[in-house]
Structure 1
Amino acid sequence: MAGWCSMNALRRLRVHAPGAQQVAVFVRSHHLPGEVSSVAARREHDSWVAEFEAAVGDHYWIRVDDGPPLLDPSCHDLLVTPDGPRSVVRDPWPRQRQGAPLAQSPVVYELHVRGFGRTFSGCIQHLDHVAGIGVNVIELMPVHPFDPQHNYWGYMPLVWGAVHRPYALQPERAAEEMAELVAAAHDRGMHVWLDVVFNHTGEGNASLPTHSLRGLDDDHAYRHHADGRYIDDSGCGNDINPGDPYVRELVLEALGRYADLGIDGFRFDLASLLTRDGGELVQMITDWAAPRGVALIAEPWDLGAYQVGSPVWPPGWLQWNDRFRDDVRGFLRGEPGLVGAIRQRVQGSPDQFGADGAQRTVNFVTAHDGLTLHDLTIVTSDRHRSWDTGPELRLQQLKNHVVLLLLSAGTPMWVMGDEFARTQDGNDNPYDIDGPLTWVDWARARAWHELTECIRSLVQLRRNHPPVDVRFYGVGAEVDDSHESRSIAWSASGLYVMVNAWWEQLTFDVQEPGDWQVVIATAEPAARGPGSFTLAPRSIVVLRR
């Protein structure tokens, strides 16, 4: 296994550097910062091994030939210093079990540690709010260490198997404090999924500083064009090589460490880049996860491939479904020709995933990148399929989005604060903004309480009336899927949902018998009669019998 092994104060380090002529490890004493010792590593095949004395808290780095100081790719901890990032010696991480099996199907809440609660400990203070609206999975955005100077979201990892120190009240206890957050979620009946970024590293393109893998084995760790330039289908400067044995070892090592902190599932950023070896690494991850009962979720696209619904994903993998996002946004803003697409999305996107689509699709209208739910109603953009509704229609349109999200088959997900209309003032890509714009403003919870209560009610409706065996109708018995149609209705498990995405009133005749009562109305129906409801423009009514 790569990295440190501890025998009292004797440390053992192994790194993969097949092209190196010499490798040395340098250690700066934590207690005597001016004291730096070094030891030459010995070659063992394509790896280099060094053994020496070091104390917990000491900084260490690697030099290959005459290159710059490098991080240990397998370190458990690191610190960004004025001289650059340095690996830090630390005790083994705590270990705890995954949470008990979920009592209900997942309802997912994506959050950024700093944006949501500033620290792991701060996040714990808001878990009761999240659990109270019916969420049973929180998905943490990446906790890999990164340089915060030009990054906020955390998608530029310096190493894969450590925890970002600034998220902890006591930086040297980052792993322990993360474990405490996970345990607190488990105590509330929630699971914790973690967003992991194995498709590239924060070393970026060749013009940026070399911190780790580039200085150890650039030829094999990264993918290159024939002329030596990095392949950059991640859009982040480099793509990792999923076929490299050392890369695979580091990936599985990091997953194991996080799982030992109690993490219940992993969302793989730009996961399609991990299939460039023909799917072998994905299968290795699948085989690793199965005995541990860990959930696996793919973001199945990148700049060079689109793999939503692809057979490259083994059974059991969930997949983010951007078609759900785009079709729901477009339909609700009144775009033509989308009734057929909405019919697919509501029943679990069988056109993409096959008959078991509801077990594979992660449905979302918003995520960390792009506009927040509120901002979909203040920005008019064809790219975002968004529309400035004006203040009179805003709450109604927000409710329309969450009704379709939470009453469709599949795993629903939304991003932190959407339940009380968090805004980023229309900014769709604040990856580098650490401040009030990207932090959850908890003061909005009171002003947007009605939206929060709508979501809470919808989650409960979903659980009492799961969206299975869906039967579709239009304003009458037949679905109108013509190009200019903007209406659809469906029945599932004792609910009858009528959607009018048009800008005029429409009268729906309920097509199934029963004593139907209104349980959700994003706008009050303009008229009601025996078995019929005239829906206000751009509104949804949900009936229950």
Structure 2
Amino acid sequence: MTRSTELEAVYGNPLQLGVTKVKDGYNFAVRSFTDELTLEIYPVTASGDKNDSPLFTVDMDEAYRFGDVFAVEITGGDIDGCSYRYVHNGTMVRDDYAANLSGCSEFGHNIRDIKYITKIQSDIYDWENDRFPRIPYDECIFYKLHVRGFTKSRTSGVELSKRGTFAGITDKIPYLRSLGITTIELMPAYEFDEAGRFASDKEKHYSSSKPEKSGCVNYWGYLGGFHFAPKAAYCAASCSEGNYNGSYTDEFRDMVKALHANGIEVVMEMYFTHEESYLIEDCLRYWVMNYHVDGFHIYCDECRLSAAADDPVLGSTKIITVYWNNGRPGIHNQDECRIKRTKHMANYNTGFDEAAKRLLKGDENQLQTFARLLRANPADAADINYVTNHNGFTMMDLVSYDRKHNEANGEGNRDGENFNYSWNCGIEGPSRKKKINELRTRQIKNAFAMLFTAQGTPLILAGDEFGNSQSGNNNPYCIDNETTWLEWKESVQARSIADFVRILIDFRKSHKIMHMDSELTAADGLSCGYPDISYHGDNAWYSRMESYDRHIGVMYCSRYVKNEPADEVIYVAYNLHWEPHHLALPDLPEPNEWKIILSTDADNTAKLAGRQIITPPRSVTILTGSLIRTSTIKRRKRRS
């Protein structure tokens, strides 16, 4: 290590917040509202205890200050691998742009007396030939997961040292590919404060997790923290405090590179508080440029969200939120906060989940809403549809519990959503009764069929595809154990659901009409006798959607797929009633006939009867037919 006497400090660049490698050294810039600040740099060999002495210090006064930013450039030696901190009157001042942290390698472990927290590194990484997949929303299959919970269980099949880490996700890439996933969405995976370890920070006050029940942590991570750093506890390469080398950040890059090589994107959830809003665009750019992240699901105020969406560097990056609109309520001049909506932006379609769950359950007056949402596909921003998400029941719990069971959270079962629109199929919780389990399996398949036959972008909650359960807990934000760790099941029921989901995804991908890039019009725009989408009931071409109706047929005509000539029609028969129903089938040119290709009913009791299909109770059936006329077939034979 270069002796401290060889290091020099000169005025730095305040526009490069954080630590940046520059031509002659390293630029340090931090936002602080103090009148002076001290930068302390510690050697690579320092352990972080109170007896460590700085290798170099810089007392920064007004001469180093530009507005609210202190900036200094350190030259004269190589300090890569060293650590640093800022101090004011004996109190550590946080660097919001810190990109590599110590004291955080063990999930839920609270170390408040760490002497310094930030590693200096040059961010040099060999991306080889990595390319952003840039998959359009209409081609995407989203898969939302919690990094720790995804592979933490021994049932994951991941080796012990990689369980609950980014490396664990890398090991599961073959599974994700086999399922047909194109995009994974990570619940917070930056350095959030799950254990209150940053609570001693006096310059800023961030919400930290201090659940009333002893032993709990903020497992989900929807908190403030250090947004520029991957979560050290999610890295297999993260070392103990006594032997910390900072190499863990490359593990995140390795994961992204491996996922990209397999055609899978990475979207990160980012939760920002109001205090942190000034750094949002810098943060998103950093993750895109340094970690090759493909998109973000952002939680922040709408004006900052608008600025991120309009950032030219992020113009091809997926930007997702709960709902985009054209202005924020309360602003007198709406033009001050107007959002330019484009297809790199997307809504989390919270309306779809409620309509789907209520119709699945059998509630009245849901069919018309569901039918409308089936074709919803806005021109200016994508809709991301889901039935279940992290906040609520899993798919298995949705069909196994009538009410939430959140007692383990330590809040007297008062937390979590009370309106889950769930139905336990006759028994609360697990059951050994064959008929109950068969009904639950069919209901789960129905839910997936409703999701994957809707336009827009489908999202799966990790584990739903093989029946993962959280024992009825619909808000396990503070639980870090087998309840929230996925149990990778190999039961007959789990395989049945997983196989069905694979078939559905493959069907969706192979039929473009099921995932168009613009909204279907329900009109015969080609004058071919068939609209792009049409609705049918007891009579063909006529749909009855009274409040008491729970069955409908929806037909898609593939002639409306541009540049892909096809003469196929797809008919999806939804019957979410507890009784069988007849649905009329439109005529096909002779000699073509309708064929049943997929049904959620394991007994395959759906039957064709003339120009009708008899749909069994609580089922979804998919049929296909051809529009090629006999004369056309004969002409093609003669030509061949």
TM-score by length of 1: 0.82
Shift of 1:180: 1.0
Partner of 2:251: helix, strand, or coil?
helix
Partner of 1:490: helix, strand, or coil?
strand
Count of aligned pairs between the two proteins? 482
Aligned counterparts of 2:329 and 2:145: Cα–Cα separation in 1: 26
Instruction: Indicate whether 1:83 and 2:113 are aligned.
Output: yes
Match for 2:288: what amino acid?
A
Shift of 1:282: 3.4
Shift of 1:13: 1.5
Q: Write the mapping of 1:261-300 to structure 2, written as runs, cut at 5 A.
A: 261=290, 263-270=292-299, 273-276=300-303, 280-285=306-311, 287-290=312-315, 293-300=316-323
- Shift in alpha-carbon separation, 1:7–1:296, aligned structure 2, 3 A: closer
Shift of 1:372: 0.9
From 155, 180, 185, the equivalent of 2:254 is: 180
Equivalence for 1:371: 393
- Shift in alpha-carbon separation, 1:256–1:283, aligned structure 2, 3 A: closer
Equivalence for 1:230: none
Partner of 2:392: helix, strand, or coil?
coil
Aligned counterparts of 1:254 and 1:332: Cα–Cα separation in 2: 40
Partner of 1:335: helix, strand, or coil?
coil
Shift of 1:362: 0.5
Contact 1:519 1:544 (C-alpha < 8 Å) held by counterparts: yes
Match for 2:38: what amino acid?
A
- Shift in alpha-carbon separation, 1:482–1:453, aligned structure 2, 3 A: same
> Which blocks of at least 5 consecutive residues in structure 1 are unaligned?
201-238
Instruction: Indicate whether 1:386 and 2:425 are aligned.
Output: no
Shift of 1:420: 0.5
Equivalence for 2:586: 511
Shift of 1:512: 4.1
Partner of 1:31: helix, strand, or coil?
coil
Contact 2:31 2:95 (C-alpha < 8 Å) held by counterparts: no
Shift of 1:510: 1.2
Aligned counterparts of 1:240 and 1:475: Cα–Cα separation in 2: 58
From 59, 62, 70, the equivalent of 1:40 is: 59
Instruction: Indicate whether 1:111 and 2:140 are aligned.
Output: no
Contact 1:264 1:295 (C-alpha < 8 Å) held by counterparts: no
Deviations along 1:297-319, one digit per CA (max 9) or x if unpaired, are 223389x979xxx9735212111
- Shift in alpha-carbon separation, 1:324–1:335, aligned structure 2, 3 A: same
- Shift in alpha-carbon separation, 1:502–1:362, aligned structure 2, 3 A: same
Shift of 1:295: 2.0
Aligned counterparts of 2:534 and 2:551: Cα–Cα separation in 1: 15
Shift of 1:369: 1.9
From 215, 234, 250, the equivalent of 1:167 is: 234
Instruction: Indicate whether 1:16 and 2:39 are aligned.
Output: no
Contact 1:374 1:398 (C-alpha < 8 Å) held by counterparts: yes
Partner of 1:36: helix, strand, or coil?
coil
Shift of 1:195: 1.8
Partner of 2:117: helix, strand, or coil?
strand
Equivalence for 1:190: 264
Q: Write the mapping of 1:400-415 to structure 2, written as runs, cut at 5 A.
A: 400-415=446-461
- Shift in alpha-carbon separation, 1:16–1:105, aligned structure 2, 3 A: same
From 528, 532, 546, the equivalent of 1:482 is: 546
Instruction: Indicate whether 1:2 and 2:17 are aligned.
Output: yes
Aligned counterparts of 1:515 and 1:72: Cα–Cα separation in 2: 68
- Shift in alpha-carbon separation, 1:445–1:12, aligned structure 2, 3 A: farther
Instruction: Indicate whether 1:431 and 2:477 are aligned.
Output: yes
Aligned counterparts of 1:130 and 1:446: Cα–Cα separation in 2: 20
Equivalence for 1:321: 349
Match for 2:539: what amino acid?
G
Aligned counterparts of 1:8 and 1:538: Cα–Cα separation in 2: 67
Match for 2:583: what amino acid?
F
From 339, 347, 355, the equivalent of 2:375 is: 347
Match for 1:372: what amino acid?
T
Equivalence for 1:498: 573
Aligned counterparts of 1:173 and 1:32: Cα–Cα separation in 2: 16
Shift of 1:91: 2.8
Deviations along 1:321-350, one digit per CA (max 9) or x if unpaired, are 00011110111101111111011111026x
Contact 1:507 1:535 (C-alpha < 8 Å) held by counterparts: yes
From 465, 480, 488, the equivalent of 1:419 is: 465
- Shift in alpha-carbon separation, 1:486–1:2, aligned structure 2, 3 A: same
- Shift in alpha-carbon separation, 1:448–1:348, aligned structure 2, 3 A: same
Deviations along 1:9-55, one digit per CA (max 9) or x if unpaired, are 954321222x4222122334341343233421232233212445784
Aligned counterparts of 1:93 and 1:445: Cα–Cα separation in 2: 45
Aligned counterparts of 1:48 and 1:195: Cα–Cα separation in 2: 30
- Shift in alpha-carbon separation, 1:311–1:301, aligned structure 2, 3 A: closer
Partner of 2:553: helix, strand, or coil?
strand
Contact 1:120 1:181 (C-alpha < 8 Å) held by counterparts: yes
Larger radius of gyration: 2
Equivalence for 2:43: 29
Aligned counterparts of 1:29 and 1:9: Cα–Cα separation in 2: 19
Contact 1:27 1:60 (C-alpha < 8 Å) held by counterparts: yes
Match for 1:36: what amino acid?
S
Instruction: Indicate whether 1:457 and 2:476 are aligned.
Output: no
Partner of 1:78: helix, strand, or coil?
coil
Aligned counterparts of 2:357 and 2:329: Cα–Cα separation in 1: 23
Match for 2:386: what amino acid?
F
Shift of 1:435: 1.8
Aligned counterparts of 1:241 and 1:142: Cα–Cα separation in 2: 16
Match for 1:282: what amino acid?
A
Percent of pairs identical after alignment? 22
Partner of 2:347: helix, strand, or coil?
strand
Deviations along 1:245-299, one digit per CA (max 9) or x if unpaired, are xx1xx322222222134535323233xx33246x6523443x2212xx3222223
Equivalence for 1:155: 222
Instruction: Indicate whether 1:543 and 2:623 are aligned.
Output: yes
Aligned counterparts of 1:544 and 1:280: Cα–Cα separation in 2: 43
Equivalence for 1:207: none
Match for 2:113: what amino acid?
D
Aligned counterparts of 2:329 and 2:466: Cα–Cα separation in 1: 35
Contact 2:445 2:500 (C-alpha < 8 Å) held by counterparts: yes
Contact 1:77 1:163 (C-alpha < 8 Å) held by counterparts: yes
Match for 1:386: what amino acid?
S
Instruction: Indicate whether 1:61 and 2:85 are aligned.
Output: yes
Match for 1:68: what amino acid?
T
Equivalence for 1:99: 132
- Shift in alpha-carbon separation, 1:145–1:280, aligned structure 2, 3 A: same
Equivalence for 1:126: 172
Contact 2:552 2:583 (C-alpha < 8 Å) held by counterparts: no
Contact 1:161 1:253 (C-alpha < 8 Å) held by counterparts: no
Equivalence for 1:204: none
TM-score by length of 2: 0.70
Aligned counterparts of 2:21 and 2:382: Cα–Cα separation in 1: 42
Partner of 1:159: helix, strand, or coil?
strand
Aligned counterparts of 1:445 and 1:135: Cα–Cα separation in 2: 22
Contact 2:468 2:487 (C-alpha < 8 Å) held by counterparts: yes
Kindly report the root-mean-square deviation, in angstroms, between the aligned alpha carbons of the 2 structures: 2.7
Partner of 2:539: helix, strand, or coil?
coil
Instruction: Indicate whether 1:520 and 2:598 are aligned.
Output: yes
Deviations along 1:119-143, one digit per CA (max 9) or x if unpaired, are 1111111111111121111122222
Which region of structure 1 is more displaced relative to structure 2, 359-368 or 400-409? 359-368
- Shift in alpha-carbon separation, 1:264–1:75, aligned structure 2, 3 A: closer
